[in-house]
Every structure is written in structure tokens, then in C-alpha cells.
Amino acid sequence: MIAPATREFRFADGAAARRHAVFVSTSPREPWISPRTVLSLARKELRDSLRNRWFVTYTAAFAVLAIGLAYLSRVGTAMSGFAGFGATAASLVNLVLLIVPLMALTIGAASIAPERERGTLAYLLAQPIGRTELFLAKFVGLAGALVGSLAVGFGLSALTLARGADPRQVRLFLTLVVLAMLLALAMLSVGMLISVLARRSAAATGAAIMAWLVIVFVGDLGLMGSAVLFRLRASSLLLASLANPAQCFKIAVIGSYDPTLDLLGPAGLYASNTFGATGLPVVLIGCLAAWVVLPLVLAAACFGRRPL
Amino acid sequence: MNAMIQIDQVRKRFGRARVLDGVSFDVLAGQSIALWGSNGAGKTTLIRCLLGLIDFEGSIRVAGLDVRREGKRVRRLLGYVPQELAFYDDFRVIEAARYIARIRGADAGDCEPGLQSLGLLDHARKRVRELSGGMKQRLALAVALLNDPPVLVLDEPTSNLDSAGRGSLMELLVGLKAAGKTILFISHRPEEVRGLADRVLTLESGRVVTDVATTRLHLAGDALAADRLDQFDEVFSTDALEDRLEQVAIVSGHGIRRFA
């Protein structure tokens, strides 16, 4: 610790020397994670997301499509008597599967790599903040932006359908909203992992789009193809589905409408029989939560070790 | 010994390349040290180690605190001015100052006086991207000083500035040194070294090869020079001198530009 001013201090005046000596010797131990710092940094991430034209475009596209689906569903309700929320929710599943992973993966991929490339990351980390704090703040800020964006889309869609809604359908619609948000957080974690590992910003974006293709399209088609080609057993098919967050989301939403999972064929029946009507949602939500936590922890560990 | 910065046997490799090879020196409180040397000598890497941006072997302590174990606490004692301010260009100047103030644990109310003291208050509503190079460096210095840190770390702070900008920034830095700040800076400009530093450390291939008091040196054109070999005998470390006697003899005729 620095001793009080001595002859070796070449300060212009003794007061300055003493002030610094006191400052050094009394500065408190820093907490590993300071909530105040994390919130300050997270607010900036939220603000940046709201100014990001891609993010705004995704949000607008999701909101417009969700309202469009709600409107069409409402017209259908008037004509055929189908429940508005239920029909809209079913249509929204595909919309969510298409847009939400793309949105979350790309903003996650843009979280670290571009800042590393521009040098802003090094400048920020030269300030009195920890890497874990910065990483956590980025996740919190971006998660807030994503959840807000989905809330806008789903909220506008719900407003279109609000009149005369059946409470059970509303509950199912809310289940869809929560599961979509969980899927968004899982994809955000994967996107941030990609961003930490990528050397360049363009590589991070490319890898994020590739991950989206694999998770949304190749995962689905691959699963169907593998089932046919290799005559996969129902248990293997279920395991393969649980390994894909998009599939977990889809099964969980369908399960909330029809707990027997008849729609999903033998694998659905196997899942329903194995875990039961109450166990399956827990398993699926657990898998989605694992997709949020594991890539995030891995990304944080890599971020803490990689040189800038 | 009242060392504000203690650098002890710092080593750093990037793959096979050895960038820092046992660098050791102390900086006393209130002292100003210039790091001098050619590109690739390891100066910026040393500063990145000091800031905790990269891992290294050896030990760096600031005010007795270990950089690796208490990085956040150390960085609170350091005000860092990079070669070129890499900051969020769409921030307004006052927003940038408030953002860094929050991170540095400074009072947001200090931002406006801080900007004023560096002549930036009239530009507070401008976006960072609209500032000239000189104003950006002033902003970097303003935010580095927000929590009144005892140590300033400057990585070629004037390299992107014109002559007027350089002069004005140097004037500010000389004032800060007079106010008691400990300063560690990189420069390639002899007049800056003469004007601001108490000692000049020359790095070559990741090693400190000379440690010279600036009072022993004078400007010789665009180089720093000592008149006689015996002056170098006094001011160069003896180990370096033994290893490099022939080169030092050459250097004595051409100033330490030989190492730059």
C-alpha cells in the first residue's frame, strides 16, 4: 500500500500528494459483480439494440406478421367459429420458429465480435469493470431488448384478438409467449457464444446464420430424414428432438394444446407416456433453460480468457 | 521506496513470438516515465498487461495492488488514454462522459466541469464522431480523469494530432504532472519526452535496454542525445551497457534515436 507523501512524491503541492495517498489506501475492495455497473452497461446495450436497424426491422416484421395472423384468425373466427387465440397461437408457432431464432442469434453474434474489432471492447475493459460484469450486462441488455420486442409483437396480436376471448385460450397464448421468450434467450446465448469465439464480426454473423439454418431447417428436416432412413426408435427420436431448442419449443407449445401429443406421431406418444402430462413440460422447459445457461456459461468462460 | 507502479520480470508471448522478455522497472508516485522504442518493441503490450487486458507472466502492482488479482481496483486508480479513442461514435460527448463516469464510480455532476476544464463543454451536444482527432483525445483525457485517478497511462496520445493539437494536449499533461499525477506514457516524439518525462525507458525486443533520466538528454534535431559516452555510462543500466557496449558507443554519436 502507498505510504503517505514522502520526498519521493514530486507533487506540486503537498495537498495533492496527501489526497492521492488517502485515496489509494482507503479504496474499498471491489465486488466481483457490481449490480450498479451491470445495470449501467446493460442500459447502454438496450439503447444500442433499439437503435440497431436490423433489430428494429425484425421487431417490425414480427409485429406486422403477428397482427396479420391475428387478423386473419379473427376473420376465420367470424366465419367458422374457431377460437381466435387458439388458432392465432398455432399460426404464431411457425412464425416464432422462423423469426425469433434468427433475431436472437444475429443480435447475440453482434454483441462481442464487432466491439472487439473496433477496439471499443478493449477501451471499456481498461475501465474499472470486470469481464464477467460486461458479459452479463450484454446478456441482460440484449435479453431485455428481445423480450420487449416479442412483447410488442405478441401484445399487438393479442390486442387484435382481445374482444370476447376465452380465458383458457388466453392462458395457452400466454404459454406460447413465455416459451417464445425462453427460446429467444436460448438463441441469444448461442449467438453470444458464437460472437465470443469468432475472430471477426463478419465471421460471427455468418456463423449465426448457419446456426439458424441448422437449428430451424436442417434440424427439422434432418430429424425427419434420419427417422425414415435409419428407422430411429421413438426414444432416439425424442432424444434428438430434445437436443434442438427449436424442437423443444415446438413440442412444448403443441403439448400445451394437446398433452397427448398425437400430432407428433410415435415420438410424441412415447414422450407423453414416458414423462406424463405434467413431467413433459418440465423436461422441455428444463432443456430450453439448459440451452440458455450452458452456452452462456461457456461463452462467459471463453470471454474471460480470450485476449483482446 | 514509494513506487506507484512496480513491474517485475514481466514476460509475454504471442504464439512463438516473445513480445516481453523480463521487463522490470518501478515508477515512483508523481513521476513521469516515457516508454521509448521502435514499433513491435513491446511498449503497447506492456501497457495492455498493466491494464489487465492480456495475461502475462511476472508481476505488476499498482499502489501495491496486484493487477491480476485486483484488476478492477487497479483500473480505478488508472486513467487510460489510448492512441485513438475507440468509443461509441453515436454517443453525444456528454453522454459518453456520463457513461464512463457511471462505470468509473465518479459523480455524474463531475462531467460538465471535467469537459469544461478541457475545453469541450461547448461541444457537449456533438456526437463523438463529429469531433476532430484532437478533441477526441481531449475527451479521452477528460473521461480518464473523471474519478481523479492518481495514475495516467497514455499510449501515444498525440500520434494522430496536428502540431497545435499536440502542443495543447502536452500543455495539459504537463499541468497534470505538476498537479501530482504519476504518468506512464508511450511516445515517439523526443520533444514530448523531454517536456513531460523524468525518465526514458527504451524497450527493444521486449527488454528494457536503457533507463535514462531526461535531465541527461537534450534534443538533437529530431532525436534525443547525450553528448559524451561517459554520460551514457552513468545513465544506462550497467547490464545493458555490458551487453551492448559497442552499440552504445555508436549510439553516443547519434543519440538514442538508434533505439527508436
Residues of A in contact with B139 (CB under 8 A): none
In which residue are the cell numbers 391475428 written?
Answer: A70
Residue B145, phi then psi, degrees to nearest 5: -95, 0
How far are the Cα atoms of A159, B6, B200 from residue B27, in angstroms, in the given order? 66, 7, 11
Chain A residue nearest residue B177, CA to CA: A11
Is the CB of A127 less than 8 angstroms away from the CB of B100?
yes
Burial of B168 (0-12, 13-18, 19+ CB in 10 A): middle
Question: ipTM score here?
Answer: 0.84
Res A269 pLDDT > 80: no
Residue A232, phi then psi, degrees to nearest 5: -60, 140
Burial of B258 (0-12, 13-18, 19+ CB in 10 A): middle
To probe the interface with A, which of B48, B76, B100 has the most A CB atoms within 10 Å?
Answer: B76
pLDDT at B222: 52
Residues of A in contact with B179 (CB under 8 A): 11-12, 16
**Minimum mean pLDDT range among A81-85, A101-105, A219-223:** A81-85
Say whether B191 sits in a helix, a strand or coil. helix
* Per-residue pLDDT reduced to its tens digit, A106-115: 999 999 999 9
Is the CB of residue A208 less than 8 Å from the CB of residue A200?
Answer: no
pLDDT at A28: 62
Winning range, highest mean pLDDT, from A104-108, A260-264, A279-283, B111-115: A104-108
Task: Identify which has the larger pLDDT, A22 or A46.
Answer: A46
From B107's Cα to the closest Cα of chain A, the distance in A is: 13
In which residue are the cell numbers 514530448 written?
Answer: B192
Distance separating alpha carbons of residues A146 and A168, to the nearest angstrom? 26
Within 10 A of A298 (CB to CB), how many other CB atoms are there?
16
From A71's Cα to the closest Cα of chain B, the distance in A is: 39
Q: DSSP class of residue B243? A: H
Q: Which residues have CB under 8 Å from A71's CB, separation 6+?
A: A160
Say whether A270 sits in a helix, a strand or coil. helix
Say whether A285 sits in a helix, a strand or coil. helix
In which residue are the cell numbers 468509473 written?
Answer: B104
Chain A residue nearest residue B76, CA to CA: A128
* Per-residue pLDDT reduced to its tens digit, B97-152: 999 999 998 888 889 999 998 889 999 999 999 998 888 999 999 999 998 999 99
Res B184 pLDDT > 60: yes
